[in-house]
Amino acid sequence: MRRKLPVFVMAVCFTTFTGVAYCGADARQSGVVSCAQATETRPHTGNAYRRSVSNEDYAFSARIPDGLIGWRGVAQDAPFHGFAIFLDSRMEACIIFEVHIRVDDDTARSSSSTTSVQLGKAQGLQWINEGRISNSDVSNIHLLFSFRQPDQTDDGEVLLITPTSRLKATKAIYDAFVRSIKFGDKRGHQ
C-alpha cells in the first residue's frame, strides 16, 4: 500500500523597495505588477489631492497632472506616505508615489539598466520592466529616490504601471509628474 504524502503549497511573494508585497505567479514570472497589486488605494477613498501636493516632513512638493486626482486612501490624521493617481477609469494605468524615512542602510536596489534622475535635491534611479499579466502586456517604470535631510534620509518610489499599448501616452503624464517633484522645499505642507 502506498503512503500518501502531505501536499504543501508554496506561495511566492516578493517585497518592493517601498514595502509593497506582490504575490502570485504573474508577478513572479513577469516581474511586473498591476495597479491592483501595487496599491490598496482606490478612487474616492481617503484624502484627495488636486493640482498639487506637498509635505513638510519630507520637504517635497509635486504637481498633480491636470484633470487627475491623487488619492491617499487612508484616514485624514494618518501619517503621510504617498498616494496613487489613476490614469483611467478601469484602473489599468496608475502612478504610485511612496515615501518613507529610511530605517536601515540597505540601499543597494537597482536594475542593470538605470537612468539617473534629479528630483530637486533628491537623487533617483529609473528603469523599466515589461511583462505579461493575465495575457496582457504591462510596463512598469520604477524611479527609486533618496533625499538626505539634516535629521533623516527619505527614500521612496514613483511607479508608473500601464498597459504597454498605452505606454507612450501614459509615460508623457508620468514624465510631467516626475519633472514637477521637488525635494528640499521646506515650505511644503501636508
Per the domain annotation, does 115 fall within a domain?
A: yes
Report yes or no on 123 lying in a domain: yes
Count of domains for the chain: 1
**Could you give the strand order of the β-sheet that contains 182-183, starting from the edge strand earlier in sequence?**
52-55, 60-63, 182-183
CB 178 within 8 A of CB 125: no
Domain residues for the domain of 83 are 13-183
pLDDT tens, residue by residue, 134-168: 899 999 999 999 999 999 999 999 999 999 999 99
For residue 51, the domain's CATH number is 3.40.1000.10
Across the strands, what pairs with 155?
100, 146
Write out pLDDT tens, residues 26-70: 444 458 999 999 999 999 888 899 999 999 999 999 999 999 999
* Domain assignment of residue 172, yes or no: yes
C-alpha cell read off for 25: 505567479
Residues 86-109, mean pLDDT to the nearest whole number: 85
Is 53 domain-assigned?
A: yes
In a domain, 20, yes or no: yes
Mean pLDDT of 76-105: 91
